[in-house]
Amino acid sequence: GGDPAQALPAAAANMTIRSSSLGGSGGSNEISMNDTGGQEGVYIHAQRDMTEVTENDRTKTVKNNETTTVGVDRKKTVQNNETSTIGVDRTESVGANESVTIGANRRHQIAASDTTSVGASRSLSVGASDSKNVGGTSNEMVGAAKTTNVGGAYAVTVLGAMNTAVGLISAEEVGMIKKIVAGTSIELTCGSASIKLESGGKVTIQGTELAFESSGPTKITGDPVDIN
């Protein structure tokens, strides 16, 4: 003999179970079903907290779109493995900070291109070895200064040509021994002056003016020595 949960006859196709909150707050817990053709639906409303417990497996299927909105925090715990499969695109937006902690290994596999954009600073720390393998071309562009510090040995191997272009000053300092070995020739050129060393033993020094200065003995040995 109580009043219906929804007004009749407009809600004749609806079935509603509603339990009003005590204390005059005006709230209620509710389960309602709409059986109107083309508008069928189920509505569940918890006035405060809601707890679900499934003792074994649970399967959820959404045939169309799904939207989840959380007003404050969200926490998810998976005791074992988790697999996520997305058929098309995925977009994730984080308004502030993001932290990811992985207890063991992590692998990234990207079938096509990968682009990373960092608006400010970036820091990478590797506790052990670091390996990089590029199957094609690799380009690096630094807008300002760049510093490389190597605590031990440093080796560069180039199978083809290697070119270095410096717009202003180039300086190199070696604490002990420096050795340069070329299979065919070594040539040092500055304007009209040049020194060329050839693998056959020939050394050619050219310049508009040659000056030899020594604070000690100077020795020239040859067979013969031709000064003209």
- CA-CA distance, 19 to 47, in Å (whole number)? 10
pTM above 0.95, yes or no: no
One-letter amino acid of 20: S
- CA-CA distance, 38 to 13, in Å (whole number)? 12
pLDDT in tens, the chain (228 residues): 455 566 666 667 788 899 988 987 889 999 999 988 899 999 999 999 999 999 999 999 999 999 999 999 999 999 999 999 999 999 999 999 999 999 999 999 999 999 999 999 999 999 999 999 999 999 999 999 999 999 999 999 999 999 999 999 999 999 999 999 999 999 999 999 999 999 999 999 999 999 989 999 998 888 888 887
- CA-CA distance, 65 to 139, in Å (whole number)? 42
- CA-CA distance, 122 to 116, in Å (whole number)? 11
Around Cβ 47, how many Cβ atoms within 10 Å? 14
Residues written for the chain = 228
- CA-CA distance, 49 to 45, in Å (whole number)? 10
* Residues in a beta bridge with 190: 193
